[in-house]
Structure formats: C-alpha cells, structure tokens
Amino acid sequence: MPSIKVAILGFGTVGEGIYRILNERKEEIQQETGHTIDVVSILVRDTSKVRLSTPGTTVTDNIQDILSNADIDVVFEAIVGEEPAYTYLSDAIEKGCHIITANKTMFAKHGPALLKHAEFRGVKVCYEATTAGGVPIIRTIKGLLPADRVQRVRGILNGTSNFILTKMREEKVSFEVALQEAQALGYAEADPTDDIGGKDAFRKLMILSALAFGKQPDWKDVPVVGIDSVTIEDVKAASENTCRYRHIADISIDENGVLQGSVGPVLIGTDHPLYGVDGVDNAIIVDTDHLGALTLIGPGAGMYPTASAMVSDLLQVIGKRTATFATN
Ligand code: NAP
Ligand code: HSE
C-alpha cells in the first residue's frame, strides 16, 4: 500500500493528539484512503523532555532534519507563536509539502501569504484547527461560498474564556482557580494572557473575516476586551437577573463592503442563541443572504477535538481511495 509521510511540528497537547489519532485510527484511514500514514519526524524545542513513546519516528529539535527530507509529503504544525512557525511553513511549502496548521497566532497574520504561496506551488494549506478547535467552521464557510454571501459571523471563539465563565457561574470558583483547571485540561495556551485578554478570540475572528469576506479590517479598529475584566460579583449579579456573560467575537460587513468588528464580554438573556453554550464549547452563528442563520456548536479546545480537526484536514488532502493523492 502506498505511504504518505508526515512530520509533526510540536508535540504538546495538539501534536501528541495528532500522533495518537493517526495510530488509533490507522486501519480505518488505510481503508478510507488506500494509504498508510507514516509519522517520519517530530519537531520539539527540548529533546530531553520525557514524552509519549513514538517508535520508528525521529524526534528532533532541528527543522532542517525535516525540511531536508524529500520524502515528507505533509507537515502538521502545532508549535507556538508567529515565528519560527511562519518561516518553517513557508519553507515546507517551497519544498512542495502540504501543510496543516493549528497555529492561529501565526495564521491570523500570515495566512493570506501562506495560501498564496501554496497556490503558486500547487500544494494545500489547511487550517480548520486554528479556529474553534474541533468545530468545522472553516469547512462550513468554504462550503457556503460563493452560493451564499456571508453578512455576519459572531460567536464564542475562546474555549478557555467560556470554561472560566461557566465555572465561575456554576461552581462559584474564583477566576484563578477556573483558569488553573483550564490550563491543566490543555485548553489554555502555555501563556494564557491572550486567552483571557481577548486576543486569541480576536485572531480567530480575523481568520474568519479573511475567509468569509476576503479581507480583514484594520486590526487597530477592532476593540478587544477580555474576560479578565469580569469579576465573580459580576457573574453572580448576572445570574440573579437570569443573564449570563459570554465572550463574543463579532464581525459584519455593510452594503459598502465596510467591516465592523468587536471582541468582548457581553451580558445576554435567556432568549439569546448563545445563552446555553457552556464549558469549553465554542459556538459560531453565520448569517448569510440565502441560507439565513446557521449555528455550529462544539468543543473549542483540547487535545482530541483539535487533533481530530487536523486529521480530518489530512483526509481531505489525501482524498478518498478512488481519488489520486494530490502531490505537486
Ligand atoms: P503546547 O502544549 O505548549 O505544545 C507546544 C509544542 O510545540 C511543544 O512540544 C514544544 O516543544 C513545541 N515548540 C514550541 N515552540 C517551538 C519551536 N520554536 N521549535 C520547535 N518546537 C517548538 O501547545 P499546544 O496546546 O499543543 O498548542 C500548539 C498550537 O496549537 C498553538 O499554536 C496553539 O495556539 C494551537 N491550538 C491549541 C489548541 C489547544 O486546545 N491546546 C487548540 C487549537 C489550537 P517542547 O515540548 O520541547 O517544549
Ligand atoms: N486556548 C485556546 C482556547 C485553544 O481556549 O480556545 C483553542 O484555540
């Protein structure tokens, strides 16, 4: 059976999840695609850390070990921050690899350039996991276009924030305790500043804006507020009035093509479609001219939901058994 050789950049919560799913679903993937998937190399920062055993796979801290391997077809990227991720992925595209990324910090800024570069090189860039974890929002919006015109996208785009707000309301725990739990569960970033400060949701909103509207607003024109401004007293007072705080990212386009975005905590009542979305779940409402309003809800962070989105991306790149694997 032909084999597809992949590398995984980053072996933390998400990278390890990709490896686990590829192993757990080995036979099903072979049946579906007619290919075996071989994880050839894993890139980490610190090779001395104790990790899940990955027999037959090289674990390296040198990206050149991966970029110089002409056999690698697909690069999964699950490292942290804009750089060196952007450079690594640009180099991988240049070498003719398909890329699949979860890195929204990098993709919000460099996604358009990577997509252009990949089109020129005849390879694919998949980024489902950058936005709303396991919720297939990228695929859904792509599927709607161009038959539908998107007018507005809004929703809960940060799992950590929603988890913390839910814990504060349901269990009356402090912000700090709830954040520690989100970190232990692998929802929060290693540095959670951007989760609780709203920047993480903002970046996801910019990724959705580029996809849905073909452009992003000037970043400095979008007000960004985090849930770090919400106290346990605020949450309690809201509950007493049958209201809830939700951290909502919202972007819309007017008839002149002008984008209007905002990110921040919003107090909502029982009649709001996001009222019942609790825990680590994300929810996105997409308003379009023909379909109307479509809502997607599901796990917005964590090892398996995120890695599942990335493995689904891989399956899309490979195609079904009858189709041909799209190498360049
Ligand atoms: P993580 O647990 O902190 O793991 C990051 C991994 O990347 C580690 O294995 C680390 O190596 C490696 N790494 C970081 N910088 C590197 C560098 N410069 N060179 C080589 N390796 C490097 O992070 P994560 O939660 O898996 O998240 C990974 C990416 O996915 C991030 O961009 C994150 O925003 C995104 N994401 C996360 C989730 C989630 O639920 N966690 C969901 C969607 C998207 P060491 O192990 O040696 O330190
Ligand atoms: N830290 C992010 C969140 C991970 O909590 O939503 C998913 O992107």
Which ligand sits nearest to residue 307's alpha carbon? 1
Distance 47 CA to ligand 2 centre (A): 25
Tell me: the pLDDT tens digits for 264-290? 999 999 999 999 999 999 999 999 999
| Per-residue three-class SS string for the chain | CCEEEEEEECCCHHHHHHHHHHHHCHHHHHHHHCCEEEEEEEECCCCCCCCCCCCCCEEECCHHHHHCCCCCCEEEECCCCCCCHHHHHHHHHHCCCEEEECCHHHHHHHHHHHHHHHHHHCCCEECHHHCCCCCCHHHHHHHHCCCCCEEEEEEECCHHHHHHHHHHHHCCCCHHHHHHHHHHCCCCCCCCHHHHHCHHHHHHHHHHHHHHHCCCCCHHHCCECCHHHCCHHHHHHHHHCCCEEEEEEEEEECCCCCEEEEEEEEEECCCCCCCCCCCCEEEEEEEECCCEEEEEEEECCCHHHHHHHHHHHHHHHHCCCCCCCCCC
What domains lie within the chain, and their CATH numbers?
3-133+304-317 (3.40.50.720), 139-300 (3.30.360.10)
pTM: 0.96
Is 104 tagged catalytic?
no
Tell me: the pLDDT tens digits for 14-41? 999 999 999 999 999 999 999 999 999 9
Q: Atom of ligand 2 at shortest distance to CA of 131?
A: 8
Q: Atom of ligand 1 at shortest distance to CA of 46?
A: 47
Question: Where does the pLDDT of residue 45 fall: very low under 50, low under 70, confident under 90, or very high at 90 and above?
Answer: very high
